């Protein structure tokens, strides 16, 4: 057994990021400035996206995009219960009604068949979440959106970098929101990015900075004008150059980070793939998984303990884990407001009760990976029926 605790998902920050942050602190710009603009440009180039807008979170990207799309009171937005609350909170923030539909049993992504059944005359948009880094079935969703005049806003908090049928998630003209939270594949500590059509992002940029017609950099840089106008009541969602300094180097390292993530995934799959008590995550042939999460599922009836005790057993073996996610309809706010019952979304609920996320990050050593495998299999053997 390990002698020290293995954290679930620590960031991997190198001297390059530290040096870039120090350079920023010694410069004239620590808030939104030249490094943020550079990060936007390099991020868009990496994904072959038509444009990118750096923000202080993925939540900000989702909220800003909904406002830009004109979603508001009286509208409905379809999304998944198998996500973090932010994906649904932003629908509440604009005064619209979130409409949850269940997920597919293999990928745990939103089920396009159930999406079609949930569309009403009030439906304005769909927010699919690329769960764990596995892209949703975008062809079916976009066909539904086109047939019904709906917008699609992709929640790609987990999906950097991921591909659907050979194209990067975030490379199209539709709005796609990414997260750079501390646990993500690329981190700026806190932060996010919205990609999409440049005209759409131009309107989003105004919404995301107080509704001002000019941002600070353009006003205070040499040759800038002091004059600005507030054209709408916007928000304060801008990314800082300190955050962007981290992002510039994290982006350079992302391909190497992903190679390590895949090595860890392959080791886990080899170890757990033939174990009848465990169900490993899938990767459909038409996608390239970002592998933000490695979600292991316990097969019903195979063990004498449930998921919660399994996690406790791993904790006793000095392994950090997590659960992604407690479905939206189980949280008090949504349960009480909309009268949800656990069985309303049976696929999401039944999978939630038997899932746990194992450590998956590029900081893991071969010994760390071996320790995780040994601990998981030891718990399985100890509690096998």
> Which active-site residues does the annotation give?
184
Q: Are 227 and 201 a contacting pair, CB within 8 Å?
A: no
How many CB atoms lie under 10 A from the CB of residue 339?
9
DSSP symbol at 240: P
The tokens for 44 are: 């868009």
Q: What is the 3-state secondary structure (H, E, C) of 95-153?
A: CCEEEECCECCCCCCECHHHHHHHCCCCEEEEECECHHHCCCCHHHHHHHHHHHCCEEC
Round to whole Å and give the CA distance between 222 and 199.
26
Round to whole Å and give the CA distance between 175 and 171.
10
How many CB atoms lie under 10 A from the CB of residue 306?
13
Pairing of strands 176-179, 154-155: parallel
Of 5, 15, 104, give the one whose Cα is nearest residue 375.
5
């Amino acid at each position: 057994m390990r002698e020290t605790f293995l954290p679930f998902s620590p960031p991997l920050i190198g001297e390059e990021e530290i040096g870039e942050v120090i350079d920023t602190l010694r410069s004239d710009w620590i808030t939104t400035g030249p490094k943020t603009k550079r990060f936007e440009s390099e991020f868009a180039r990496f994904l072959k996206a038509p444009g990118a807008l750096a923000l202080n979170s993925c939540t900000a990207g989702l909220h800003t995009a909904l406002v830009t799309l004109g979603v508001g009171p009286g509208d409905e937005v379809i999304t998944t219960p198998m996500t973090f609350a932010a994906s649904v909170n932003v629908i509440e923030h604009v005064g619209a009604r979130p409409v949850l539909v269940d997920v597919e049993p293999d990928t745990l992504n939103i089920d396009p068949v159930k999406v079609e059944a949930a569309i009403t005359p009030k439906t304005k948009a769909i927010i699919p979440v690329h769960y764990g880094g596995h892209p949703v079935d975008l062809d079916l969703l976009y066909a539904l959106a086109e047939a019904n005049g709906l917008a699609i806003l992709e929640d790609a908090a987990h999906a950097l970098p991921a591909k659907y049928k050979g194209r990067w998630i975030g490379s199209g003209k539709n709005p796609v929101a990414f997260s750079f939270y501390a646990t993500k594949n690329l981190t700026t500590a806190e932060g996010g990015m919205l990609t999409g059509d440049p005209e759409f992002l131009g309107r989003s940029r105004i919404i995301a900075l107080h509704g001002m017609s000019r941002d600070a950099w353009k006003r205070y840089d040499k040759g800038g004008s002091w004059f600005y106008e507030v054209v709408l009541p916007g928000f304060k969602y801008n990314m800082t150059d300190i955050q962007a300094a981290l992002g510039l180097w994290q982006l350079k390292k992302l391909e190497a980070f992903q190679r390590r993530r895949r090595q860890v995934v392959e080791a886990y799959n080899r170890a757990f793939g033939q174990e009848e008590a465990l169900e490993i995550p899938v990767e459909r042939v038409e996608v390239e998984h970002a592998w933000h999460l490695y979600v292991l599922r316990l097969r019903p009836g195979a063990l004498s303990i449930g998921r919660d005790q399994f996690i406790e057993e791993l904790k006793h073996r000095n392994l950090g884990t997590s659960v992604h996610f407690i479905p939206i309809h189980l949280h008090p706010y949504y349960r009480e407001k909309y009268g949800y019952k656990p069985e309303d979304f049976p696929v999401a609920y039944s999978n939630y009760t038997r899932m746990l996320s194992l450590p998956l990050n590029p900081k893991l050593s071969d010994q760390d990976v071996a320790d995780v495998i040994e601990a998981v299999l030891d718990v399985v053997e100890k509690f096998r029926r």
